[in-house]
Amino acid sequence: MSSLAIARRELLEIAGNRKFMLAFGVQTLLLLLLLPAFGNVFESGNLALPSPTLQGFVPLGVVVESDDCDVLLQALEANRRLRLYRFSSPPVEELERGVIAGYLLIPESYREGSLTQLEVVLVLGGGVKSSVAQDAVEESVAEASSRIAAQRRSELELNLESAVSVRREFLRQVVVEGAGGERFSSFFLSYLVPLVLFFPVFMSGGVVLDAIAGERERRTIESLLGAPLSRKSIVSGKFLALWGFVSAEVAVWLLGIGVMGIPVAKPVEAMVLLAGVNALVIALAMALTLYSRSLKEANIALMLLYVPLFVGLIYALSVEFFSPRDFFSYIPFNLISRAVTGEGFSHEVLLQVLLLLGFGTLLCIATAVLLIERDDVVFGSRPGIGRLFSDACEALLGAGFAGGMALALLMSPLVFVTAVLVEVALALLYTGLLGYSAKAVYLTVFSIAVTEELLKLLPLRVALRKQRSWLTARASAAIGAASATGFFIMETLAVGAAVLVVFGIPLTKLLYARATTTLVMHTLASSIAALGLYRRKKLGTVLIVLAILLHAVFNLAVVEVVL
Amino acid sequence: MLGFKLEVMIRFERVTKRFYNVTALRELTLTIERGELFALVGPNGAGKTTAIRLLCGVLKPTSGRVTVAGMDVARDGVRVKRMIGYLPEEPSLYERMTPRQLLHFFASLYGVRDAEDRIEELLALVGMLDKADVRISTFSKGMRQRISIARALLHDPEILVLDEPTMGLDPLTAKELRDFVSGLRGKKTVLLCTHYLDEAEQLCTRLGILHRGRLVAQGRPEELKAELGGAGRDSPTLEEVFAHYTRGSRG
C-alpha cells in the first residue's frame, strides 16, 4: 500500500515538473514528425512528410491480365491504406523511381470462377512503404480469398480454406543516388526505429536522479523515513513509478510510430522487451544513484552507466545490421531490432531474455534495498565496497544457516571470475615455458583443480572467520556444496554461451549433460574440501588434497574424452 | 497517594550511534514519561538530532535500543512511527506540491481516516487555509514551518518530536509556536530539541544536556540549578548550568 502511495506521489512529481513534461512533449512531437521523414529519405530520397491521414498512403501499381478478378479488385480498392494505379504492363521503371511502392500482377490464369488454386504476384521495392504495401495487399487478398472460398463452398460444397495465394518477388535494388535503396530502408527499420525506441530509457536518468539523489539532497527523504513504512517500500514505490512512466513513454512512441504507418512487425513483443530493458536500466540507475554521495556524484555515475550503454546500443545495432547471427538475438538491443523488422525473431529467445532481464532487475533492486537500509548511505556518506561486502556478509551470516548458503551462492560470480583469471594466467605461463605440449595440458588441468577447489572455499572461509554457533561440520559441508553449485551455474552459463556461439548447441542440452557429471563432481569435491577447512590440522589438509585429486582426475577424464 | 502511576513512554537504553569512526551518541540512557515535555539541549554537534532521529526510526542504533510504549523502534518501526509526529530541523517539503497534495500524501502513508476534514482542520490551525493550493516552492521559511507542523500533527500522534522548531523563525511566529507547544503539556508527550535555553526553560518539565554524544545532566531546570548552586550561593541561571556541563566544547 505505502509503495503505491510513494509511486503515486512520484508520478505527481514528474507530472508537476514543467520542464520535464515540456521536454517530453517536444521530443514526442519531433519524433512523430521526423521519423516518417527519415523513412521517406531512406526509401525514396525525398523529404516529403506523409499526408496526415493514412488514406492512400501507399501507392501500388496493379497490372490486370485476367478478366475475372472483380472480388480481388474490390477488396484492393476498399483498402484505405492503398492508392491504386492501373498499368497495362509491369511498371518496373516507376517502381525503380520510387513512384510506387510495388505492383500487383493479376495473371491471366487468375479466374475467380475456376476451381483451381489462384495465384497473384506481388513485386515490391525496398523500404517502409513496400512493407506496408505487402501488409495491405495480403490483407485484401485474404479478404478476397475468403469471399471466393465462401462462394465456392456455397455452390459446390468444397472445403477450401484459402483460394488465393500471394507469391512475392522483391525488386532487389532501388537506386537512390548511387546507394542501395533497399539497404537504406532496412537500415531505417532495423537500426533507426529501434534506436529511437531506446531514447526514453536513456532519458530516464533525469527522473531517477530527481527521485533518489534529489530527495536526499532536499532532505525530504527524512520525512519519508519517519513515516510508518519500510525503507524497502520507498525503493519499490519509486521503482514502480519510474518504470511505469518510462514504459508509458515508450508505449506512446510505439503508438505514434504505428500511427505514422511505420510497420513494426511485433509491436506487443517490442513493448514487453523494452519494458524489461527499462526495468533493468532504471533499477541499476537507482542503485548507482543511491550509492553516490551527492547529486554531482550521482550525475557522474549515471553518465558512466548511460554512455557505455548508448555506445553498446549503437555497436549492437550495427552488428545486427551488417552481420546478424542467432546468438546476437540474446542481446536485448538486437532483439528489439528483430521485433521491429520481424526477421529472425523468436518468442523462445524473448522469454529467455526477459527472464535474464528480470533476474538482473531483481538483483539491482535488492542492492538498492540493501543500500537504503544503511544510515550512512541515506545520510550522504558513501561506504567503501569492502565495508559494504563485510557488512553484507555479517548480515547474511547473522541470519543463520540459510544466510550462509545464500552467501555461498551470491559469492559464486566473484569466485568464478577470479578462478578464470588465475587459470588463464597459469595456462599462459605453462605454454610459455613448455610450449603447447601434453605436459603443459596436464599441468593446466591439475592447476585448474587446485585453483577451483581452493577458491570455492572462499565463502566458508568468510563464514568461519565471523564465527557463528550454527556453523557445524555438516553446515560447512553444505556451504561448500552451495558454493560448488553456484560455481557450476556460472561455469555452465559461460560455457553455454560459448558453445551456443561456436556450435549452436542450446543451453538446455548442455545443462543436462553437465548436471549429471560436472555438478556431482563439484559438489562432492567441495563438500570434502569444506569439511577439511572446518577440521583444519592434518585430517583437514588430507581432505582438501583428496578433493583436489578428485577434481583433477575428473578433469583428466574430460580432457581424454574431448581430445 | 496520587491515584495514578507514571507511565514510561520513551526509553533510550544504552544507545550508541556510530558513523564510521565518528560516535554521534554514546550510551544514551534516558526515560521520558507520558505527558512530559522533555527538552534536549546541547551545543552544535552534541548528538541531539541523532537522538531524535533514533527515536523516530529515521536512524538505526549501532547498539542499545530505543523503545516507545514498550515497543522496540528497530523491530516495530512501523507501529512506533504511527505514534510519533516528527518535525525535522529543516522543513523538508516537496517543493512542487501544494500543501493540500502534500498532506494528502502523508495522510495516505499514515492511514489517516477522513483525511479531507483533518487536512482542512490542520490548515486552519496553522493559518494556511488560503494557501492550501499554492505550490510550496513559493513559500517563506515560516510558512514552510507551519506546513511542516501540520504534517507532524496530521495523524494526531501521541508523541511529538520537535527538532529546533523555532530556529530561523521571526519572533512573532516563534512565540506562536511556543504557545502552541506549551498548550500540549499534559496532553501529549513532547521531546523538544533546541539550543535556545530560555525556550527550554520556559516550555519543558524536564531537560537533558547532551555534550559530545553523552548525556551529562538531566532533571527539572530548578533541580539542575540547585545542584550546581550549592548551599549559600545565589541560584545560578540555566545558562551557567549549561556552560558548566559543556565547558571546553569550543576553542
Burial A276-301 (b: 16+ CB within 10 A, else e): bbbbbbbbbbbbbbbbbeebebbeeb
Chain B positions contacting chain A at CB under 8 Å are 19-20, 53, 56-60, 77-79, 81-82, 84, 86, 88, 90, 92-97, 101, 105-106, 108-111, 151
Q: Do B77 and A230 touch (CB under 8 A)?
A: yes
The answer to whether A227 contacts chain B (CB < 8 Å) is: yes
Nearest by CB to A226, which of B56, B94, B108?
A: B56
* Cα-based distances in Å from A129 to A40, A139, A192, A507: 9, 15, 16, 39
> Is this complex scored with an ipTM above 0.95?
no
- Cβ–Cβ < 8 Å for B46, B64: no
**Domain at A58-176, CATH class:** alpha beta
Q: Are residues A226 and B86, on separate chains, in Cβ contact within 8 Å?
A: yes
Cα–Cα nearest to A169, from A100, A118, A121, A128: A121
Q: Considering only CA atoms, which of A286, A309, A277, A293 is closest in space to residue A209?
A: A286
Each residue's pLDDT, cut to its tens digit, for chain A (563 residues) gives 788 889 988 888 888 888 888 988 898 888 877 776 776 666 544 444 444 344 566 888 999 998 888 889 999 998 877 889 999 998 888 887 777 888 898 888 888 877 777 888 888 776 666 777 777 888 888 888 888 878 777 665 544 445 566 655 543 333 223 233 333 356 777 888 888 899 888 888 888 888 888 888 888 888 899 999 999 999 999 999 999 999 999 999 999 888 777 778 899 999 999 999 999 999 999 999 999 888 888 999 999 999 999 999 999 888 887 777 777 888 899 899 889 888 888 898 999 999 999 999 999 999 999 899 888 888 867 788 888 888 888 888 888 888 889 999 989 999 999 999 999 999 899 988 888 788 888 888 889 999 999 999 999 988 888 777 788 888 899 999 999 999 998 988 888 777 766 676 677 777 777 778 888 889 999 999 999 998 878 888 899 999 999 999 988 888 777 66
Residues of A (290-349) whose Cβ lies below 8 Å from B: none
Instruction: List the grid coordinates of A360.
Output: 538482473
Location of C-alpha cell 523503545: B67
Alpha carbon distance A137, B176 (integer Å): 79
Mutate to test the interface with B, among A218, A375, A388 (most CBs of B within 10 A): A375
Q: Which residues of B touch A220 (CB under 8 A)?
A: 92-94
Cα angle vertex A103, ends A102, A105, to 5°? Answer: 150
Scanning every residue of chain B, which has its alpha carbon at the shortest distance from the alpha carbon of A3? B109
**Which residues lie below 8 Å from residue A283, measured CB to CB, with a gap of 6+?**
A239, A360, A361, A364, A365, A368
Nearest CA in chain B to A211: B94
Successive 10-residue mean pLDDT values, chain B, 251 residues: 65 90 90 92 88 93 93 91 90 89 93 92 90 92 90 93 86 86 88 88 90 89 79 72 72 33
Contact criterion met (CB < 8 Å) for B105 and A16: no
Write down the mean pLDDT value for chain A. Answer: 83
Asked if A381 has any chain B CB less than 8 Å from its own CB, the reply is yes
A222 chain-B contacts, CB cut-off 8 A: 53, 58, 88, 90, 92
A:B CB pairs within 8 Å: 75
Please state, in angstroms and rounded to a whole number, the distance separating the CA atoms of residues B195 and B191. 13
pTM of the model: 0.73
Domain ranges of chain B: 8-94+160-245
What is the rounded CA–CA span in Å between residue A551 and residue A262? Answer: 57
Torsion of CA B42, B44, B49, B52, to 10 degrees: 0
Judge contact between B15 and B64, C-beta under 8 A: yes
Residue A361: per-residue pLDDT: 95
pLDDT at B79: 92
Nearest residue of chain A to residue B92 (CA atoms): A220
Nearest chain B residue to A380 by CA distance is: B19
CATH topology of domain B8-94+160-245: Rossmann fold (3.40.50)
Contact B92 A226 (CB under 8 A): no
Q: Measure CB to CB from residue A219 to each of B57, B92, B105 and give the nearest one.
A: B92
Residue B177 pLDDT: 85
Domain boundary assignment for chain A: 2-38+184-383, 58-176, 398-562
Q: What pLDDT score does B251 carry?
A: 33
Cell of A151: 462462394
With an 8 Å Cβ cutoff, is A376 touching chain B? Answer: yes
Cβ within 8 Å, pair B95-A375? no
- CB count in 10 Å sphere of residue B81: 24
The SS3 assignment for A44 reads helix
